[in-house]
């Protein structure tokens, strides 16, 4: 048990903040965890499950905190930063867990007073669930946590934050803000939008009933529905704030799709076969890198009915 | 142990045929399982793992068989049907396991002699693995197996085939050929093409390295790579033979994607939020229907590195 930060303030109490609190508690990484959220119900659940203390406002929560974690949707970060700025303890570390970094740096950066260390961050971990009951201590195990420290960041502050994240099981990497936003547009934002779109197409079909789509979803469709069940507010903000990179990737996606669509129309089997063979190699790389399970069908097992019934 | 068919001939010995053989053996549903495949190596593996007997040609395999299962890529069905037609036993049932039904009916139907019952079928089950070692007895448990019997199909033949499939754990439904091909275009074919495309886009990026894409894939991308690792020959044939329905769905998909893309460009957060909220309901429906696990992240667990290492 090594206390890395004496007092930690969590602003926003959803999946990520809850998982951080569970992970910190499991290993005694903080002496006190203070939390706040807009909803009184969320605060009450967090107080019961993982916070030592909750406050009604973010301004109160950050008082005396050695680490402040902004864990609200990206679009809400600027207002929170303005609210907490006058109350931050000198020498404190402020980080965030937003999926977009450029917009957060623009919105939060200007409010951070001298003597406070702002180190933007992005835990690349999550599930399709959200809210104060969805967190768990092992969420960050073996997952990447990207940090985008601005030039001139205090090395001691960075090392301390890194120590906390690594103690929670994460692998930490640092990256330039613009590159981060492009990388996540490819590996996360575009795939989510495409999944949402495919589910939307199915929802709008008239000649195929929704019952049929649900019944026969195991043929591929259901894989898309998992990420299309993610938190709508968080994802709205992601797309609005990482607009340029997302539109860039979607443009490439459409081009690529049109080429395959044309190959189908023209009956160009060689093109399709070559394309489908190359994409297999990427899957192999992901499994070898330990970033997914090699078990067939994600190891979902043979009887999802039982899983659904909680058996 | 109820023998449903005395002798079963499996033409093609990949994931589906292998799983059928394992399931039939586990419950004694056939007295003898004869198999054939183009590759001598595949035949040898099948002989060792799940066939009572293997033959070099399909013509030999079907001799005296009460049930013949065509389990080859859709594009190969016509030639196989022509080859086996003169050797089919009067009264035999012939079925297939192709993911497309219209093209199979067109290619196989004309070769089937009078007195043989051709009942096209489609097991909606599979994993991203292929080949004679990939099958397992429980693959069809709680999964749908669609049949598209032509008008005038012998009810006794249909009942017997249905009994076999249900004994292997499948839920059987019958459907019109054209409707089948549209349903699978939505729930399976279009999602697969879109997954292949997204993986292809990532593969073609220059400013983001392949190592980064693999490293950070857990943020959503890896869900796409599973289905994009499916058998390239099978999928080439699916797209070439279900062209009209697939192009119809892809057209809808592109329209829908453009509307969301425009909402991102225009900053229309309300549109995005409303869209992302609706898609959640479909996920809920799938879980309630027992067609996927409710476990977060497909229940992949916290340490895929261990799973990859076989731990």
Query: B301, B296, B294, B197: which is closest to B239 by C-alpha?
Result: B197
In a 13 Å sphere around the CA of B130, the CA atoms on its Cβ side amount to 16
Q: Is residue A295 part of a domain?
A: no
In terms of domains, do A12 and A109 share one?
yes
Question: Furthest-apart CA pair in chain B: how many Å?
Answer: 67
Residue A111 CA, chain-centre distance (Å), reads: 24
Closest to B293 (Cβ–Cβ): which among A233, A261, A308?
Answer: A308
In terms of domains, do A59 and A12 share one?
yes
Which stretches of chain A are assigned E, i.e. beta strand? 5-11, 30-36, 53-55, 67-70, 93-96, 117-118, 121-123, 144-147, 171-174
* Structural tokens at position A81: 């930063």
Domain boundary among A151, A175, A199: A175
Q: Is residue B309 part of a domain?
A: no
* Least Cα separation, residue B90 to chain A (angstroms): 34
In terms of domains, do A69 and A167 share one?
yes
Closest to A201 (Cβ–Cβ): which among B219, B256, B295?
Answer: B256
**What value does the mean pLDDT take over residues B131-141?**
96
Q: Which residue has the tokens 């081009």?
A: A255
In terms of domains, do A88 and A193 share one?
no
Question: Furthest-apart CA pair in chain A: how many Å?
Answer: 67
Split at pLDDT 50, 70, 90, the class of A1 is: low
pLDDT, tens only, A171-208: 999 999 999 999 999 999 999 999 999 999 998 888 88
Q: Count A/B contacts: CB-CB distance under 8 Å.
A: 394
**What value does the mean pLDDT take over residues B165-190?**
96
Query: A122, A121, A123: which is closest to A141 by C-alpha?
Result: A123
pLDDT, tens only, B246-288: 999 999 999 999 999 999 999 999 999 999 998 888 888 888 8
User: How far is B252 from B258, CA to CA, in rounded Å?
Assistant: 10
Composition of chain B by helix, strand, coil, percent to 5:
55, 10, 35
In terms of domains, do B155 and B248 share one?
no
User: How far is A10 from A12, CA to CA, in rounded Å?
Assistant: 6
Query: Which is more confident, B301 or B148?
Result: B148
Answer left, alpha or beta for residue A10, where phi above 0 means left and psi between -120 and 50 means alpha.
beta
pLDDT of residue B230: 84
What CATH number is attached to the domain comprising B223? 1.10.3660.10
Contacts with B249 from chain A: Cβ below 8 Å:
201
Q: Which helix (H) or strand (E) holds B173?
A: strand B171-174
Q: What CA–CA distances, in Å, run from B89 to A146, A192, B12, B51?
A: 65, 52, 19, 20
For A201-215, A292-306, B181-195, B208-222, which range has the lowest pLDDT when averaged over its residues? A292-306
Q: Which helix (H) or strand (E) holds A103?
A: helix A102-108
pLDDT of residue A301: 52
How many domains are there within chain B? Answer: 2
Residue A64 CA, chain-centre distance (Å), reads: 27
In angstroms and rounded to an integer, the radius of gyration of the C-alpha atoms of chain A is 21
Q: Do B227 and A223 touch (CB under 8 A)?
A: yes
Split at pLDDT 50, 70, 90, the class of A82 is: very high
List, in sequence order, every residue forming a beta bridge with B95; answer none if it has no partner.
B69
**What value does the mean pLDDT take over residues B68-79?**
96
Residue B73 CA, chain-centre distance (Å), reads: 10
Burial class of residue B40 (count of CB atoms within 10 Å of its CB; 0-12, 13-18, 19+):
exposed
Query: A112, A216, A261: which is closest to B186 by C-alpha?
Result: A216
**What value does the mean pLDDT take over residues B1-22?**
95
The nearest alpha carbon in chain B to A197 belongs to: B257
Contacts with A243 from chain B: Cβ below 8 Å:
264-265, 267
Phi and psi at residue A25, in whole multiples of 5°? Answer: -65, -40
Q: Is residue B86 part of a domain?
A: yes
> Mutate which of B16, B169, B221 to test chain A, going by most A C-beta atoms within 10 A?
B221
Helix (H, G, I), strand (E, B) or coil at A258: helix
In a 13 Å sphere around the CA of A119, the CA atoms on its Cβ side amount to 27
In terms of domains, do B18 and B70 share one?
yes
* Least Cα separation, residue A233 to chain B (angstroms): 6
Closest to A200 (Cβ–Cβ): which among B247, B279, B304?
Answer: B279
> ipTM greater than 0.90, yes or no?
no
* Least Cα separation, residue A86 to chain B (angstroms): 30
pTM above 0.90, yes or no: no
Split at pLDDT 50, 70, 90, the class of A167 is: very high
Contacts with A204 from chain B: Cβ below 8 Å:
252, 256
**What value does the mean pLDDT take over residues B40-53?**
98
Contacts with A101 from chain B: Cβ below 8 Å:
none
Range of the domain at A210: 179-267
Q: Do A221 and B186 touch (CB under 8 A)?
A: yes
Beta strands A121-123 and A144-147 are: antiparallel
User: How far is A309 from B92, CA to CA, in rounded Å?
Assistant: 40
In angstroms and rounded to an integer, the radius of gyration of the C-alpha atoms of chain B is 21
Domain boundary among B175, B197, B213: B175
Query: Which is more confident, B292 or A304?
Result: B292
Instruction: Please answer whether residues A9 and A61 qualify as being in contact, where contact means their C-beta atoms are separated by less than 8 angstroms.
Output: yes
In a 13 Å sphere around the CA of A267, the CA atoms on its Cβ side amount to 2
Q: Do B299 and A295 touch (CB under 8 A)?
A: no
* Structural tokens at position A13: 């109490």
User: How far is B231 from A297, CA to CA, in rounded Å?
Assistant: 14
Q: Do A201 and B264 touch (CB under 8 A)?
A: no
**What value does the mean pLDDT take over residues A151-175?**
97
In terms of domains, do A33 and A60 share one?
yes
* Least Cα separation, residue A70 to chain B (angstroms): 20
> Mutate which of B178, B216, B241 to test chain A, going by most A C-beta atoms within 10 A?
B216
Residue A307 scores a pLDDT above 60: no
Beta strands B121-123 and B30-36 are: unpaired
Measure the CA angle with vertex A38, ends A33 and A40; round to 5°: 80
Q: What is the mean pLDDT of chain A?
A: 92
Percent of chain B with pLDDT over 90: 77
Q: Which helix (H) or strand (E) holds B180?
A: helix B177-184
In terms of domains, do B171 and B37 share one?
yes
Q: What is the mean pLDDT of chain B?
A: 92
pLDDT of residue B1: 66
In terms of domains, do A245 and A259 share one?
yes
Q: How many helices (H) and strands (E) does chain B have?
A: 14, 9
In terms of domains, do A36 and A21 share one?
yes
Q: Is residue A141 part of a domain?
A: yes
pLDDT of residue A295: 81
pLDDT, tens only, B282-293: 888 888 888 788
Q: Which residue has the tokens 């035949």?
A: B43
Alpha helix stretches (DSSP H) within chain B? 15-27, 40-49, 58-61, 77-84, 102-108, 155-167, 177-184, 190-204, 210-215, 221-227, 232-241, 243-266, 269-288, 304-308
pLDDT of residue B231: 87
Q: Is residue B292 part of a domain?
A: no
* Structural tokens at position B164: 């076999």
Residue B70 CA, chain-centre distance (Å), reads: 13
User: How far is B72 from B80, CA to CA, in rounded Å?
Assistant: 9
In terms of domains, do A197 and A258 share one?
yes
What CATH number is attached to the domain comprising B38? 3.40.50.720
pLDDT, tens only, B86-115: 999 999 999 999 999 999 999 999 999 999
Residue B303 scores a pLDDT above 60: no
pLDDT of residue B305: 40
Closest to A219 (Cβ–Cβ): which among B124, B269, B275?
Answer: B124
CA dihedral over A300, A301, A302, A307, signed as positive or negative: negative
Q: Which helix (H) or strand (E) holds B92?
A: none
Q: Is residue A230 part of a domain?
A: yes
In terms of domains, do B199 and B214 share one?
yes
For A170-174, B50-54, B198-202, which range has the lowest pLDDT when averaged over its residues? B198-202
Q: Is residue A311 part of a domain?
A: no
Q: Do A301 and B309 touch (CB under 8 A)?
A: no
Instruction: Please answer whether residues A145 and A165 qualify as being in contact, where contact means their C-beta atoms are separated by less than 8 angstroms.
Output: yes
CA dihedral over A199, A296, A252, B213, signed as positive or negative: positive
pLDDT of residue B139: 95
Closest to B291 (Cβ–Cβ): which among A141, A217, A309?
Answer: A217
* Structural tokens at position B14: 């990949």
Q: Is residue A39 part of a domain?
A: yes
List, in sequence order, every residue forming a beta bridge with B53; answer none if it has no partner.
B34
Contacts with A205 from chain B: Cβ below 8 Å:
186, 252
The dihedral over CA atoms of A84, A88, A93, A98, expressed in degrees to the nearest 10, equals 0
């Amino acid at each position: 048990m090594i206390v890395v930060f004496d007092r930690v303030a969590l602003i926003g109490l959803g999946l990520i903040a809850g998982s951080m609190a569970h992970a910190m508690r499991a290993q005694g990484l903080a002496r006190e965890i203070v939390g706040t959220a807009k909803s009184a119900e969320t605060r009450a659940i967090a107080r019961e499950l993982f916070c030592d203390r909750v406050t009604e406002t973010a301004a109160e929560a950050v008082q005396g905190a050695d680490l402040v974690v902004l864990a609200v949707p990206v679009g809400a970060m600027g207002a929170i930063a303005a609210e907490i700025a006058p109350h931050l303890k000198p020498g404190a570390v402020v980080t965030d867990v937003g999926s977009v970094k450029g917009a957060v740096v623009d919105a939060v950066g200007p409010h951070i007073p001298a003597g406070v260390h702002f180190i933007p961050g992005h835990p690349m971990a999550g599930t399709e669930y959200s809210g104060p009951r969805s967190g768990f201590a092992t969420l960050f195990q073996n997952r990447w946590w990207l940090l985008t420290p601005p030039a001139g960041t205090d090395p001691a502050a960075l090392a301390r934050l890194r120590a906390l994240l690594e103690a929670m099981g994460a692998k930490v990497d640092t990256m330039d803000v613009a590159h981060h936003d492009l990388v996540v547009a490819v590996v996360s934002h575009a795939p989510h939008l495409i999944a949402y779109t495919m589910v939307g197409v199915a929802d709008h079909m008239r000649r195929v009933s929704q019952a049929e789509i649900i019944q026969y979803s195991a043929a591929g469709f259901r894989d898309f529905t998992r990420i299309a069940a993610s938190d709508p507010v968080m994802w709205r903000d992601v797309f609005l704030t990482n607009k340029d990179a997302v539109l860039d990737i979607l443009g490439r996606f459409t081009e690529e799709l049109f080429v395959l669509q044309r190959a189908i129309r023209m009956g160009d089997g060689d093109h399709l076969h070559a394309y489908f063979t190359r994409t297999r190699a990427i899957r192999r790389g992901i499994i070898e890198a330990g970033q997914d399970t090699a078990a067939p069908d994600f190891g979902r097992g043979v009887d999802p009915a039982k899983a659904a019934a909680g058996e």
